[in-house]
């Protein structure tokens, strides 16, 4: 069943801005490969974290609005968990 999702990713500050954009593009490409559709991407840029993560104080934030089958979320979460440049990620179902 296809749902609207909001995917927030927090990327490592060890990347430069171009590398962070490229990594977010790769994340979006994986979504499309899994049958998803990209609605909109909102890059927030480099910001301070609310609390330190692994002694890091700031990171790159991206909010991606997507349509995706609910069965495809679990494999994508697994891929994002093993990528060391993705510090945090969160899928939120929108609407309904």
Going along the chain from its start, the domains and CATH numbers come out as 2-93 (3.30.70.60)
For the segment 20-34, what is each residue's pLDDT rounded down to a tens digit? 999 999 999 999 999
Q: What are 55-69's pLDDT values in tens digits?
A: 999 999 999 999 999
Q: Look up tokens 């994508």; give the residue.
A: 76
SS3 content of the chain, % helix, strand, coil (to 5): 30, 50, 20
* DSSP code at position 83: -
Structure tokens at 19: 């590398």
Q: What is the pTM of this model?
A: 0.90
């Amino acid at each position: 069943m296809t749902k609207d999702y909001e995917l927030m990713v927090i990327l490592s500050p060890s990347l430069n801005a171009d590398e962070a954009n490229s990594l977010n593009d790769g994340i979006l490409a994986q979504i499309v490969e899994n049958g998803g559709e990209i609605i909109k991407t909102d890059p927030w840029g480099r910001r301070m974290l609310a609390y330190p993560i692994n002694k890091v104080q700031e990171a790159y934030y991206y909010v991606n609005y997507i349509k995706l089958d609910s069965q495809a979320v679990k494999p994508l979460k697994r891929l994002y968990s093993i990528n060391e440049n993705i510090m945090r990620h969160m899928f939120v179902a929108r609407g309904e």
